[in-house]
Amino acid sequence: MIDELVDLMAAVDGRCAYAEARRVARVEQRAGVRNGRVDVASHEEADGIGVRVRVGGAWGFAATRDTSRPGAEQAVARAIALAAAQPAAADRPRTDEPPARGHWSHPVERDPTAVPLDEKLALLAAADEARRGDPRVVRPDAVCVATESLQALAAGGSTEGAACTQDRTTCGAGIAAVAVEGTELQTRTYPTVHGGHVALAGWEHVLALELAAHAPRVASRPWSCSRSPPCPAGRHTVVLHPEQLELQIHESVGHALELDRILLGEAAYAGTSWVQPHDLGSLRYGSEHMTITADATLPGALGTFGWDDEERRRAARRSSRTASCGRR
């Protein structure tokens, strides 16, 4: 993949100030069991090339599912034509960051996309069966997901000449119990509410979750929660579960700092943001007591990578980013 992209970028030299080609081949699988029956068993594959160029200070982008050399060349031509049709703008200064070269991957003991479907369904069925027996549990769910994404990036056209590949595998699983008693409905999950706990790891991560062992506890928890006394009025210390804290950061901080919202690219779909481009480096975001660290080197974290290919191909393993919400 990378050799083909490097060759493609060499042919672009002299036609634009900057050019990059990214190819992503992805496999995604999902399996689920509900009430003793298979609810979902899917396998999807995708492969394509995206080309981004800068001509006269303007950007052009084109993508294609045709990964052959003629298909990639046509994408380059479309991207250059789109950039040339844009109003001219001042070019950005070159970065002194060294180009990314090489291959990055992470430890995987067993490829989850190669695990037979029957084995996955058997694990989920065991967790599903362990939650049954209580007639109040009307819908036990068990799901697992697995993806493998191989990405290659090459840059050319009088630019820094990046050429790197990254192989990322993710998998995870989770269970849920929906219970009804009288007019009250309660749902409890393990290990997290958003489809289970997913990590940058192999099938060993799913096995370590021990879904069947935790299933009886998940089935019994709705009633203990529904019979808990109401929270007393007044001023109290609140301890947030990590999942709730993650959601709070995602909604209150993450969305507002998305560049496509800031630049009005999602105005018609998901809204805009009160943050403006000129706020970078000066805006105080929240209390001075709150600090958020984004570390792209944490083992198993979904945000871990070898190179940030949207940050001028910076290597994550060389440095992690720390930003105080009181300053950004």
Which amino acid is it at 213? Answer: A
pLDDT of residue 113: 97
Q: What is the CATH number of domain 2-228+281-323?
A: 3.30.2290.10
Cβ atoms 31, 96 nearer than 8 A:
no
Neighbours of 164 (CB within 10 A): 21
pLDDT of residue 283: 87
Map out the domains of the chain as residue ranges: 2-228+281-323
249-279 pLDDT, tens digit per residue, is 888 888 998 888 998 888 888 788 999 989 9
The ranges of the chain with pLDDT < 50 are 312-314, 317-328
pLDDT of residue 233: 93
Distance between CA atoms of residues 113 and 147, nearest Å: 7
Neighbours of 213 (CB within 10 A): 12
Tokens representing residue 158 in the block: 């009088």
Distance between CA atoms of residues 102 and 320, nearest Å: 19
Which amino acid is it at 135? Answer: P
Tokens representing residue 141 in the block: 């769910």
Burial class for 107, CB neighbours closer than 10 Å (0-12, 13-18, 19+)? exposed
Buried b (16+ CB within 10 A) or exposed e, 118-150: eebbebbbebbebbeebebbeebbbbbbbbbeb
DSSP string, 56-72: TTEEEEEEES--SHHHH
Cβ atoms 35, 123 nearer than 8 A:
no
Neighbours of 14 (CB within 10 A): 8
Cβ atoms 64, 72 nearer than 8 A:
yes
Distance between CA atoms of residues 305 and 238, nearest Å: 34
Cα dihedral across residues 91, 95, 99, 100: positive or negative? negative
Q: What pairs with residue 49 in β-bridges? A: 23, 64
Q: Return the closest-CA partner of residue 32 out of 188, 139, 185, 168.
A: 139
Neighbours of 177 (CB within 10 A): 28
Residue 193 DSSP label: S
Distance between CA atoms of residues 323 and 254, nearest Å: 13
Q: For the CA atoms of 212, 218, 220, 223, what is the dihedral angle to 10 degrees?
A: -170
pTM of the prediction? 0.83
Helix (H, G, I), strand (E, B) or coil at 247: helix
Which amino acid is it at 88? Answer: A
pLDDT of residue 11: 87
Task: Tell me the backbone φ, ψ of residue 206, rounded to 5 degrees.
Answer: -65, -45
Q: What pairs with residue 321 in β-bridges? A: 294
Distance between CA atoms of residues 310 and 160, nearest Å: 14
Distance between CA atoms of residues 308 and 313, nearest Å: 5
